Structure formats: structure tokens, C-alpha cells
Structure 1
């Protein structure tokens, strides 16, 4: 199975995960302390800033895209409960 790396810039931790893993799952695994409410892409509390490697994430779903627009998120923000790492190396921080 293909692997991917995720680095949490704020705590200086890098982990290797299976491709297709959602950022929220990785955050829970390493204890990154990500705040979240629903895990279903509707509330926006789990927003993260993608510092680098956004090309290694699955495209936002229609729901995620709408929530990000509704909360006026920046172009480099994604919802951790929705963003799937497809491979490569992704660097994130809360945000």
C-alpha cells in the first residue's frame, strides 16, 4: 500500500501513514491537539493550514469546499476531517 508523510509543524512531529488517511486521524495518532467538533465536514472547527504539499491531498469535496467558503478560509486551508493524504509529504499546522 502506498505511504505518505505528514509533518505537524507546530509540534515538530513527522509520521508515515497509509495513503488515503485523513489528516484528523493523523492528528489524533500523534496527539497534535487539533480542535474539532463533528468529523463530518460541516462545522469547520478542524481547519488546518497546509504549509506545503497541498498537491498530495485529495481535492476538496463539494461539502468541504462550501464550508471553507462559508467560513472565509484562505486558499491554503483545509478541513482535517475531510482532507485525505494521497502520498508524498504534507506539512500542516492548526489554522
Structure 2
């Protein structure tokens, strides 16, 4: 299985994960500072900024694009609960 590296700038940690893993899953495992309220129905709280490698995440879905727009997210912002890692990237919580 293909692997990819994701670096969390807030905790200065790089982790190798299987391609297709959702960012939020890795964040929870390593204790990065991505906050989320999805489980409480507060969509949009897990917005993160992709510092490098934004093209190494899966394309945003229509729903993700809608939530990002509603939250006035920047060009390289993504939802950690939706973005899947397909190549090396560097992210930080917003």
C-alpha cells in the first residue's frame, strides 16, 4: 500500500500514513491541534490550512466546498474530516 507523509506544524511532527487516510484521523492519533465539532453537528470547525502539498489531498467534494465557502475559508484551506492524504503535505490548524 502506498504511503504518504503528513507534517503537523503546530506540534512539529511528521507521520507516515497509508494513502487515503483522512487528516482528522491522523490528527487525533498524534494529538495535533485540529479542533472539530462534527460529532456535535458543528460542521466547519475542523478547517485547516495546507502550507505545502495542497495538491496531495483528494479533491474537495461539493459539500466540502459549500462548507468552506460558508466559512470564508482561504484558497488552501480544507476540512480535516473530508481531506484524504494521497501524497506528502504540511498542514496547520486555523
Per the shorter chain, which TM-score range?
over 0.9
Structure-2 separation of matches of 1:23 and 1:65? 17
Question: Structure 1 or 2: larger strand share?
Answer: 1
8 Å Cα contact 1:42-1:67 kept in structure 2: no
CA RMSD in angstroms comes to 1.4
The match for 1:53 is 53
The match for 1:63 is 63
- Aligned-pair CA distance for 1:33: 2.8
TM-score norm. by structure 2 comes to 0.94
Structure 2 alignment gaps of length 5 or more: none
Runs of 4+ in 1 over 4 A off after TM superposition: none
SS at match of 2:25: helix
Residue 91 in 1 paired to residue 90 in 2? yes
Within 5 A, what are the aligned runs for 1:1-95? 1-38=1-38, 43-86=43-86, 88-95=87-94
SS at match of 2:38: coil
- Aligned-pair CA distance for 1:34: 1.7
SS at match of 1:34: coil
TM-score norm. by structure 1 comes to 0.93
